[in-house]
Amino acid sequence: MNKETFAAQFQEKLLTTFSKRPDEATNKEAFQAIALLVKKEVNSNWQKTKQVHLSNDEKQMYYFSMEFLLGRLLETNLLNHGWYDVCCETLHDYNFEPSEVFSEEADAGLGNGGLGRLAACFLDSLASLNLPGHGIGIRYKYGLFQQKMVNGYQVELPDYWLKDDYMWETKRSEKAIEVRFGGEVNPTYVDQKLTFDHVEFERVLAVPYDVPVVGYGTDNVNTLRLWSAESTTNPFHFNSVHGKDYYHYLDYKRSVEKISEFLYPDDSSYEGKLLRLKQQYFLVSAGVQSILNQFKKTEQPISELPEKISIQINDTHPTLVIPELMRLLMDEEGLGWDQAWDLTTKTVAYTNHTTLSEALEKWPEQMVKELLPRHYMIIEEINERFCQGIWFDHPELREQIADMAIISYGQIHMAHLAMVGSYSINGVAKLHTDILKERVMKPFHTLFPDRFNNKTNGITHRRWLLHANPELANLLNETIGKNWIHEPKELINLLKYVADPSVQAELARVKRKNKRHLASYINQHYGILVDEDSIFDVHIKRLHGYKRQLLNVFHILHLYHLCRENPSLNCTPRTFIFGAKAAPSYHFAKHVIKLITTVATKINNDPLIKDKLKVVFLENYNVSLAEKIIPAADVSEQISTASKEASGTGNMKLMMNGALTIGTQDGANVEIGAAVGADNIYTFGLSAEEVFEYQATNKYRARDYYNSDQRLRTVIDQLVNQSFTQDDVEFKDIYYSLLFNNDEYFVLRDFDSYVEAQQLIDQTYRDQASWLKKSATNIAHSGKFSSDHTIMEYANDIWKISQSHYSKS
């Protein structure tokens, strides 16, 4: 596509859609016109891709996830399709500023954090690698809340991302599916065969909205299918359940619409809500039914199912696929238990994302029984057979049956169900998988050693480098050529140049430019002037105790104290940048946010500090904001309590953009450290083994660290001595959690080694040649964390799907 053709089509779209000339169109209209152009082009490839998959009879993979944190799609679609440059040139020609046009697109924030963003990166890699893999999710009317800061506090506003129509979706009413809730199941014999008659249930219509997933430099287009809940409009159905009362109908309609209304904002703790269970079953039932419908069109025997379909469940949220597939195979397809179980357990694979006990999903038996009576029967039977199997075939595990049971003490343990009912169980970083095998899921590993495997998370280098950091991408193209875009491991070729002064100078120039860009954003939105020569120290992720934003704040307060004590102190200027949302009901996390903003106000307005320290809290951290911050980062804060962060992916994005990691030996930090070498990462703190040791022996005394370390006493006392606010209860909860609840996350224990690592950063940064060499070394090793590699491992080891041969037409 050349510029003239693109410009002509752009003009025509504006005219036919809005009856406007380019000089009359608003940014939003320009955005919509371009999105329509792209969509039209993509549609024909999309259709072709489906045809190819069908006629080649290829095995398909479906990635079930309650979250897809997509962010914006226009720029990456343009880039993947090869239209990015012509589009920007055309916009310029018509006096549009492309970045303003692109930012008219609402972020699709259908996820909380890492887990949802992982699903989005995987879709990008699947499509770009010509793999037949698709996403199945929920079309929430409201995505993750918008965070607004008011007087330093987080306020949550609804994220009505659909207000302007979503340009990428296509509603497919003809593919709607009925999902049934509640009612009763009556086992009856029909022709001497036991059948299960489900009656008096509530009907919900699941309507799919399909979003095309465009691959980079290929005509392959996969599908993300998002389900929306609608009430059935068939009055016959309605009368049979609710009688004819119109007001009851309105209640019913409202209760149905709620199912796909909100994304749960609880990142890593379990919300015991009936509605959440409804959402999970809604996703699962609609998704599995539509897959089976598609499969049955091919007229293959049902026994071929595992040869043609793999279902990956992203954490335990979609675990009900196991009993749902069992139900459909038995009750609808007429299979017996054994064959249904054989097929199900060869089709479903499970990814574990957490070992935090508060995040392991459990549902009350009674709730499942009432909402999903037939599934409850099936889960009971699975549990019965599973426990008996251990008793008879694995006497060595008899003692542990109570710990392994799927149903115990009135609760259904979804992780247990997921492990028993799937053929693959994977962790998301080496350390995490080892912890699963040796600790958290040890008896299951004894029972099913072959099911366990590791798949370290990854990120798409197309969004997080090529798109987010075009200046760095250019530098790479000029230094090592463009092959890294198709084969990210080729970034390793940069190693030859890490000490090359001209490459270092260019790298410094690019980083400086990105920092200037972010600095001007900060000035525009917050009126804070930050020093572009200061270290940009970046801590961006959900706010959680285990992620230890508090440890970062303590270091800042410590530096602040040093600078005030000694105004001529020779410290390298730093800008501390935070971005984080707290779950609305997570009070501790909200106190930490308020602490950050309070400290920021204090330090930024202290004339004694001048430009030495600045603290900035950027509101509403989301994918688009991440794309602005990450290219400008010098330091990447990855300081979780060891053993708690399953993998992390923010660590990978920042490394790929040349930031140096200060991190604990946790999650994928361990693999990042192994790749770049100890000289190119700042590792500190307790190891996972040491954390487990403390937990087992109860030997940690937070108070001892407070009593013996004057620096900690100074910092912690400030929480309650009105240093920051007249209100002396504001930070009392934090104070108590440390000194009276014994500091669950070992903040005080790791403080000393954290400060030491930060001092090393302070010194190294002054030696720019040394710093830039480390930065370039990180970029060079970041290719192995591309989700392309992660996805190829899933494809080869778990899904057994193969790449189609496409060429760019």
CA–CA gap between residue 434 and residue 352 (Å, rounded): 12
Q: At what angle are helices 84-93 and 74-81 packed, to 10 degrees?
A: 120
Which residue lies nearer to ligand PLP by CB, 61 or 538? Answer: 538
Which residue lies nearer to ligand PLP by CB, 473 or 626? Answer: 626
* 355 is known as an active-site residue: no
Q: Which of 455, 547, 594, 781 is catalytic?
A: 547
Return the range that interacts with ligand PLP (CB under 6 A); candidates 91-99, 398-406, 606-614, 617-625.
617-625
Return the range that interacts with ligand PLP (CB under 6 A); candidates 273-281, 366-374, 615-623, 766-774.
615-623
* 193 is known as an active-site residue: no
Q: How far is CA 645 from CA 354, 429, 641, in A?
A: 8, 10, 7
Return the range that interacts with ligand PLP (CB under 6 A); candidates 17-25, 112-120, 373-381, 471-479.
112-120
Minimum Å distance from CB 117 to ligand PLP? 4
Largest CA distance in the chain: 92
Minimum Å distance from CB 782 to ligand PLP? 14
Return the range that interacts with ligand PLP (CB under 6 A); candidates 133-141, 362-370, 446-454, 621-629.
621-629
Both tokens of 268, joined, read: 């890593």
Which residue lies nearer to ligand PLP by CB, 354 or 777? Answer: 354
Minimum Å distance from CB 472 to ligand PLP? 18
* 649 is known as an active-site residue: yes
Which residue lies nearer to ligand PLP by CB, 98 or 114? Answer: 114
Phi, psi (degrees; rounded to nearest 5) at 158: -65, 145
* 789 is known as an active-site residue: no
Query: Judging by beta carbons within 10 Å of its beta carbon (0-12, 13-18, 19+), is residue 438 exposed, middle or buried?
Result: exposed
Return the range that interacts with ligand PLP (CB under 6 A); candidates 241-249, 324-332, 375-383, 646-654.
646-654
Contacts 24+ apart (CB under 8 A), 43-49: 43/212, 45/214, 45/219, 45/220, 45/221, 46/212, 46/221, 46/223, 48/219, 48/221, 49/219, 49/220, 49/221, 49/222
CA–CA gap between residue 204 and residue 230 (Å, rounded): 6
Sequence-separated (6 or more) residues with CB below 8 Å from residue 75 = 84, 102, 467
The answer to the question of residue 631 lying near ligand PLP (CB under 6 A) is no
Which residue lies nearer to ligand PLP by CB, 424 or 661? Answer: 661
Sequence-separated (6 or more) residues with CB below 8 Å from residue 387 = 401, 404, 405
Q: H or E stretch including 338?
A: helix 337-344
CA–CA gap between residue 567 and residue 703 (Å, rounded): 31
Beta bridge partners of 427: 454
Minimum Å distance from CB 211 to ligand PLP? 19
Both tokens of 543, joined, read: 């706010």
Return the range that interacts with ligand PLP (CB under 6 A); candidates 78-86, 109-117, 406-414, 711-719.
109-117
State the binding string over 534-573 for ligand PLP (x if CB under 6 A, else -): -------x--------------------------------
Contacts 24+ apart (CB under 8 A), 528-533: 528/604, 528/614, 528/616, 530/575, 530/614, 530/616, 531/573, 531/575, 531/611, 531/614, 533/573
| Residue of the chain from 650, 658, 663, 685 that contacts ligand PLP (CB under 6 A) | 650
The answer to the question of residue 648 lying near ligand PLP (CB under 6 A) is yes
CB-nearest residue to ligand PLP: 650
Q: Which of 649, 661, 683, 790 is catalytic?
A: 649
Q: Which of 431, 438, 345, 446 is nearest to 395 (CA)?
A: 446
Q: H or E stretch including 613?
A: strand 613-618
Minimum Å distance from CB 578 to ligand PLP? 12
Helix/strand/coil (H, E, C) string of 376-427?
Answer: HHHHHHHHHHHHHHHHHHCHHHHHHHHHHCCEECCEEEHHHHHHHCCCEEEE
Return the range that interacts with ligand PLP (CB under 6 A); candidates 492-500, 522-530, 645-653, 691-699.
645-653
CA–CA gap between residue 75 and residue 87 (Å, rounded): 10
Q: Which of 317, 432, 515, 653 is catalytic?
A: 653
Which residue lies nearer to ligand PLP by CB, 225 or 541? Answer: 541
* 541 is known as an active-site residue: yes
| Residue of the chain from 206, 623, 702, 801 that contacts ligand PLP (CB under 6 A) | 623
Q: Which of 53, 445, 461, 542 is catalytic?
A: 542
| Residue of the chain from 39, 59, 81, 117 that contacts ligand PLP (CB under 6 A) | 117
The answer to the question of residue 626 lying near ligand PLP (CB under 6 A) is yes
Minimum Å distance from CB 673 to ligand PLP? 16
Which positions touch ligand PLP (CB under 6 A)?
A: 113-114, 117, 541, 621-623, 626, 648-650, 653
Residues taking part in catalysis: 353, 541-542, 547, 649, 653
